[in-house]
Structure 1
């Protein structure tokens, strides 16, 4: 159970991080530079769904692995930083 939770968290982290980067680097320039707001509408919805899954995954990991409040706060903060979920996942993997 714990190993599958780590795998699930890893996948959700990667997908959420990638969707955030796509939103920032592709969809938003399309909206503001080329007047294509539908790019943000579609990508924003997907990112919002993945962000919600990421928050749920944080709760699951916090319960299963008894994360301290600092780790939980860091995981939530990582979602708001470009490349944040990737850095967090790398640190978690290094810790074992």
Structure 2
């Protein structure tokens, strides 16, 4: 099914995965720093990576929404999904399933 994704849809999928992955890394880093008090390297590294991934996700979301002509609710959900941890990945899967990432949407 990934062959039916538009280039903008494919880029959105990549951005959503990267945002979710860096969120997970940041959460693990926070657990290591504050839970086990062993190291703060995870927070240092994934904090920076997640900041970049978040900005990339927001930009790609806006571009994809315009390019693929998403309805207003899809724009809103996609932008809000970046706030709580790990929500961009299931949102991308849902958008893919309902056809918002496909050609001719």
Q: TM-score, normalised by structure 2?
A: 0.81
Q: Would the aligned equivalents of 2:8 and 2:68 in 1 still touch at CA under 8 Å? A: no
Q: TM-score, normalised by structure 1?
A: 0.87
Instruction: Look up the match of 2:57.
Output: 54
| Aligned mate of 2:48, from 45, 49, 58 | 45
How many residue pairs align between the two structures?
Answer: 94
Q: CA deviation at 1:83?
A: 2.7
Question: Residues 2-41 of structure 1 correspond to what in structure 2 (within 5 A)?
Answer: 3-24=6-27, 26-32=28-34, 33-41=36-44
Structure 1 or 2: more helix by fraction = 1
Which secondary structure does the structure 2 equivalent of 1:34 belong to? Answer: coil
How large is the Cα RMSD of the aligned pairs?
1.5
Which secondary structure does the structure 2 equivalent of 1:15 belong to? Answer: helix
Q: Structure 2: any 5+ residue segments left out of the alignment?
A: 100-105
